[in-house]
């Protein structure tokens, strides 16, 4: 063995090795085999947790947004929190809430996209309410921060707008 290091937040080991007879180098990965998680859907059906499915849903919400490099970190954080929770069966609602928590601070457009599917928006007013609530929380967390969708400023009374 030439080199060994922890990866994926200490949950896996990457080892660089060299063959004793031919000197060819190669890499091996070791990861802890954890008990599988299961997800209880809204309808009561229980299925195996799939990391790829969670990642895909976040990728769809983040499509064409400048946050692609953060998706794996979000999935890692959520998985870590799920594994730390008591029990191996997680409600799908809990996973959705964890995704929305992370997206709300990362990218508001991705958050609204995810929330619209997760909460099954049917009317435009539901989008508007979600944006207002997001804006309210954002202003509460960071005082004096600009509105999510600022209104265009109007020219002063009596001004033509030209100088």
For residues 150 and 112, the model is more confident at 112
Q: What is the pLDDT of residue 145?
A: 44
Domain boundaries, the chain: 45-141
How far apart (Å, rounded) are the C-alpha atoms in residues 74 and 120? 22
How far apart (Å, rounded) are the C-alpha atoms in residues 161 and 146? 23
Percent of the chain with pLDDT over 90: 35
Q: Which residue has the tokens 């809990």?
A: 94
Structure-block tokens of residue 18: 């060299």
How far apart (Å, rounded) are the C-alpha atoms in residues 103 and 95? 12
Q: What is the pLDDT of residue 44?
A: 92
Does the pLDDT at position 89 exceed 80? yes
Q: Which of 89, 86, 88, 98 minimizes the C-alpha distance to 57?
A: 98
Phi and psi, residue 121, nearest 5°? -60, 135
Whole-number mean pLDDT of the chain?
81
Task: Check residue 44 and give left, alpha or beta (phi > 0: left; psi -120 to 50: alpha).
Answer: left
List pLDDT tens digits, range 101-117. 899 888 888 888 888 88
Q: What mean pLDDT comes out for the span 158-162?
A: 45
Does the pLDDT at position 30 exceed 60? yes
Which range in 54-58, 120-124, 147-151 is most confidently predicted, on average pLDDT?
A: 54-58
Interacting residues of 97 by C-beta distance below 8 A, sequence separation 6+? none
pTM of the predicted model over 0.95: no
How far apart (Å, rounded) are the C-alpha atoms in residues 88 and 151? 47
């Amino acid at each position: 063995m030439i080199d060994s290091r922890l990866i994926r937040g200490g949950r896996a080991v990457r080892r660089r090795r060299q063959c004793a007879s031919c000197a060819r180098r190669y890499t091996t990965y070791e990861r802890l085999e954890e008990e599988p998680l299961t997800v209880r859907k809204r309808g009561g059906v229980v299925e195996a947790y799939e990391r790829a499915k969670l990642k895909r849903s976040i990728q769809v919400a983040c499509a064409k947004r400048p946050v692609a490099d953060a998706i794996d970190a979000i999935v890692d954080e959520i998985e870590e929190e799920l594994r730390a929770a008591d029990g191996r069966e997680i409600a799908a609602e809990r996973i959705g809430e964890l995704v929305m928590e992370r997206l709300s601070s990362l990218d508001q457009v991705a958050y609204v996209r995810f929330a619209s599917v997760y909460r099954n928006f049917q009317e435009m007013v539901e989008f508007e309410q979600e944006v207002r609530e997001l804006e309210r929380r954002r202003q509460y967390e960071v005082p004096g921060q600009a509105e999510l969708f600022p209104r265009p400023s109007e020219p002063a009374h009596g001004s033509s707008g030209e100088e």
